[in-house]
Amino acid sequence: MKERTMLKQITAITLLLGVATASAATEKLSFPHAAELTAQAKQIIFQEVNESGVPNSVHQEMMCLAENIYFESRAEGVEGKAAVANVTRNRVLSTKFPNSYCGVVYQGPVRESWKTKQNPDLEDSERVYYPRKHRCQFSWYCDGKKDVIWANYEKTGESIKLNAQAWRASVEVAIWTLGYGSYTVNDNTLGATYYYAHNLVYPYWADKFEVTEVIGNHTFMKP
- Give per-residue pLDDT as tens, 52-96: 999 989 999 999 999 999 999 999 999 999 999 999 999 999 999
Check residue 30 and give its pLDDT: 40
**pLDDT at residue 195 greater than cutoff 80:** yes
Whether residues 65 and 121 share a domain: the answer is yes
Residues 207 and 123 in one domain: no
Provide the percentage of residues in the chain whose pLDDT is more than 90: 57
CATH number at residue 170: 1.10.10.2520
Say what the pLDDT of residue 215 is.
Answer: 98
pLDDT at position 33 is 59
Would the pLDDT of 15 be above 80? no
Which pTM value belongs to this model?
A: 0.82
Number of structural domains found in the chain:
2
Claim to verify: residue 72 and residue 162 sit in the same structural domain: yes
Residues whose CB falls within 8 Å of the CB of residue 214, separated by 6 or more in sequence, listed in order: 198, 220
Residue 157 and residue 213 in one domain: no
pLDDT bracket for residue 151 (50, 70, 90): low
* Residue 32 scores a pLDDT above 70: no
For residues 123 and 4, the answer to whether their CB atoms sit within 8 Å is: no
Q: What is the pLDDT of residue 216?
A: 97
Q: Who's near 191: CB < 8 A, 6+ residues apart? A: 90, 212, 222
